């Protein structure tokens, strides 16, 4: 998952939160018209792909494949772990925003 994708997602979350709170939305960037569900799904797919790739490299190293290098395996496992942790934090922000919206008095 790229940092730019995460920044775009967080920017959209902040804009939606500001709009829900009745505040003026921050300056919109070029991604404001992007489909939120599509962006979220593509981010989840990227995280899943990174985890599968890291798992495949780990299995190749464990089986003794000559092209599998320990350093590459460890780096890919750390990248997959970091992308998963980031996605969990995005999920936590989404849940928090949902709870704020549900607790708003109409």
Residue 96 forms part of a structural domain = yes
**Is 29 a domain residue?**
no
Q: What integer best gives the mean pLDDT of the chain?
A: 82
> Looking at the domain assignment, is residue 30 inside a domain?
no
What local confidence, expressed as pLDDT, does residue 106 receive? 74
50 belongs to a structural domain:
yes
Asked whether residue 95 carries a pLDDT value surpassing 80, the answer given is yes
Which long-range contacts link 12-20 to residues 24+ away (Cβ below 8 Å)? 12/36, 12/39, 13/90, 13/93, 13/94, 13/97, 16/97, 17/97, 17/100, 20/97, 20/100, 20/101, 20/104
- Does residue 58 have a pLDDT over 90? yes
State pLDDT tens for residues 1-41: 466 666 777 777 777 777 766 665 455 454 555 688 888 88
pTM above threshold 0.75: no
18 within a domain of the structure (yes/no): yes
Boundaries of domain holding 75: 3-24+36-103
Q: How many domains, the chain?
A: 1
Answer whether residue 98 is part of any domain: yes
Q: Is residue 78 part of a domain?
A: yes
pLDDT at residue 5, rounded to an integer: 67
């Amino acid at each position: 998952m790229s940092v730019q994708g995460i920044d775009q997602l967080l920017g959209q979350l902040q804009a939606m939160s500001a709009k829900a709170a009745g505040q003026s939305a921050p300056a919109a960037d070029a991604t404001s018209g992007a489909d939120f569900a599509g962006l979220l799904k593509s981010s989840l797919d990227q995280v899943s792909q990174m985890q599968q790739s890291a798992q495949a490299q780990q299995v190749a190293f464990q089986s003794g494949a000559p092209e599998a290098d320990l350093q590459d395996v460890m780096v890919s496992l750390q990248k997959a772990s970091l992308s998963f942790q980031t996605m969990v934090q995005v999920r936590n922000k989404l849940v928090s925003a949902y709870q704020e919206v549900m607790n708003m008095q109409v």
